[in-house]
C-alpha cells in the first residue's frame, strides 16, 4: 500500500504542475493586470513600470510562468501585485477560519445525516422516511446563497418587528469580541447561521447515501445470518449492519471535505466571513493574479490530498478493496 500511496503522490505532482500551468496561462493570457492603472490619476508611469518589471509582466507566458513557479516554491507564493505584500500570512489566516467553519458544519452534518439515513432505512416507506426524502430533494434544489439570504431576511424581519437581533448576519466576530471564553462565545454566535446553511446541503446529500447504503447492508446475507442465529435485533442493526453501512459514507465525506475547503465561497461572501472564499473573491475583484494562483494551488492540493485519504480509508475499512 505504501507503494500505491507514493505512486499516487508522484502522479499528483505531475497533475499539479500541469494544472498550474494551464491556469496560469489562462489567467495571464487574458490581458494586462496593470491596464487599469494607466488611467488612474496620480499614478506615475514610472511606478507602473516598476511593478511591471518586478513581476516580469512584459515577458512571454512561459518565462512568466517560470518566475511564478520559482517564487511559489522558494518564496511561499511570493507577493501581491500592487502592494508587494507577502501572500502566505493572509492565506494562512483565512485558511484557519475556513477550516473552522467547514469542520464544525461537516461534523454536525455527518452526525445528523447518519442518524436520519439509518432511521429512514430501518423504517423504509414510513412517514419519517418520506419526510427525509422530501427534505433532501428540496435541500439539493435550493441554491446555497439564497438559503443564506433567506435566513438573513428572517433575522432582519424579526428585528424589524420585535427590535430583537437573534443572530448576527455578518462577519466572524463583533467589533469588540473580548478575550478568552467571551471571544469564543462571540465567535460561536456569529457562526450559527453560516454553519446552518452549510449543514443543509451536506445533510441533504449524505442522508441519501447513508439510507441507500444501510438498505443494501440490511438486506445482505450476513445480516440475515446474524438474525437467524438469534442475535437481538439491536445488536444486528447496530453492530453488524450499521458499521458496514458507514464505509461508503467515509469516502463521500472525505471527498466532499476537500472540495468544501476551497468551495465555501458563496457562504463566506453572503455572511462576509474572513475565509478563503472571500479572499478569492476580493482578489479577483482587485484583478490580482498572484493571490488567485496561490488560492487555486492550495485548494487543488487539498482536493488531491482528500481524494487520497478517501481511497486509503476505503481500503483500510473494507479489506475486499485491493490497491493495484
Verify binding: residue 100, another protein, rule CB under 8 A. no
Contacts 24+ apart (CB under 8 A), 62-68: 64/24, 64/28, 65/21, 65/24, 65/25, 65/28, 68/24, 68/290, 68/293
Among 47, 84, 131, 157, binds another protein (CB under 8 A): 157
Pick from 141, 105, 135: which is nearest to 256 by CA? 105
Angle at 255 between CA 320 and CA 294, to 5 degrees: 140
Verify binding: residue 281, another protein, rule CB under 8 A. yes
Distance separating alpha carbons of residues 87 and 211, to the nearest angstrom: 44
Among 30, 47, 126, 225, binds another protein (CB under 8 A): 30
Q: How far is the CB of 152 from another protein (least distance, A)?
A: 6
Pick from 95, 21, 47, 37: which is nearest to 293 by CA? 21
Among 39, 45, 60, 160, binds another protein (CB under 8 A): 160
Verify binding: residue 27, another protein, rule CB under 8 A. yes
Among 106, 291, 299, 310, binds another protein (CB under 8 A): 299
Instruction: Kindly tell me which of 156 and 238 has the beta carbon lying closer to another protein.
Output: 156
Q: What is the DSSP string of 173-196?
A: S-SS--STHHHHHHHHHHHHHHHH
Question: b vs e for 242-255, b when ≥16 Cβ sit within 10 Å of the residue's Cβ?
Answer: bebbbbbbbbbbbb
Q: How many CB atoms lie within 10 A of CB 73?
A: 10
Site pattern 221..260 for another protein (x: CB under 8 A): --------------------------------------x-
Q: How far is the CB of 243 from another protein (least distance, A)?
A: 20
Among 78, 248, 263, 275, binds another protein (CB under 8 A): 263
Interacting positions 3-22 with another protein (CB under 8 A)? 15-16, 18-19, 22
Q: Are 78 and 290 in contact (CB under 8 A)?
A: yes
Residues in contact with another protein by the rule CB under 8 A: 15-16, 18-19, 22-23, 26-27, 29-31, 137-138, 140-146, 149-150, 152-153, 156-157, 160, 212, 215-216, 259, 262-263, 265-266, 269, 280-281, 284-285, 287, 289, 292, 295-296, 299-300, 303-304
Amino acid at each position: 500500500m505504501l507503494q500505491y500511496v507514493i505512486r499516487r503522490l508522484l502522479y499528483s505532482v505531475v497533475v499539479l504542475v500541469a494544472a498550474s500551468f494551464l491556469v496560469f496561462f489562462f489567467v495571464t493570457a487574458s490581458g494586462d493586470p496593470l491596464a487599469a492603472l494607466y488611467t488612474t490619476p496620480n499614478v506615475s508611469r514610472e511606478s507602473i513600470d516598476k511593478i511591471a518589471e518586478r513581476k516580469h509582466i512584459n515577458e512571454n507566458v512561459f518565462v512568466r510562468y517560470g518566475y511564478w513557479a520559482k517564487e511559489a516554491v522558494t518564496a511561499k507564493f511570493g507577493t501581491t501585485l500592487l502592494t508587494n505584500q507577502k501572500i502566505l500570512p493572509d492565506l494562512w489566516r483565512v485558511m484557519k477560519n475556513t477550516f473552522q467553519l467547514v469542520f464544525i458544519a461537516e461534523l454536525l452534518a455527518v452526525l445528523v445525516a447518519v442518524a436520519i439515513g439509518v432511521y429512514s432505512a430501518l423504517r423504509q416507506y414510513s412517514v419519517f422516511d418520506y419526510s427525509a426524502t422530501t427534505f433532501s430533494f428540496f435541500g439539493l434544489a435550493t441554491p446555497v446563497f439564497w438559503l443564506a439570504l433567506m435566513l438573513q431576511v428572517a433575522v432582519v424581519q424579526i428585528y424589524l418587528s420585535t427590535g430583537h437581533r437573534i443572530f448576527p448576519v455578518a462577519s466572524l466576530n463583533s467589533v469588540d469580541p473580548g478575550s478568552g471564553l467571551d471571544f469564543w462565545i462571540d465567535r460561536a454566535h456569529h457562526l450559527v447561521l453560516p454553519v446552518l446553511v452549510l449543514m443543509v446541503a451536506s445533510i441533504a446529500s449524505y442522508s441519501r447515501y447513508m439510507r441507500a447504503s444501510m438498505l443494501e447492508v440490511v438486506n445482505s446475507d450476513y445480516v440475515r445470518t446474524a438474525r437467524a442465529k438469534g442475535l437481538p435485533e439491536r445488536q444486528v442493526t447496530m453492530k453488524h449492519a450499521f458499521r458496514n453501512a458507514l464505509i461508503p459514507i467515509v469516502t463521500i465525506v472525505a471527498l466532499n471535505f476537500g472540495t468544501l475547503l476551497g468551495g465555501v465561497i458563496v457562504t463566506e461572501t453572503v455572511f462576509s466571513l474572513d475565509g478563503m472564499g472571500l479572499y478569492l473573491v476580493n482578489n479577483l475583484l482587485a484583478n490580482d493574479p498572484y493571490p488567485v494562483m496561490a488560492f487555486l494551488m492550495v485548494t487543488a492540493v487539498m482536493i488531491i490530498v482528500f481524494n487520497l485519504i478517501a481511497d486509503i480509508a476505503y481500503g483500510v475499512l473494507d479489506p475486499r478493496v485491493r490497491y493495484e
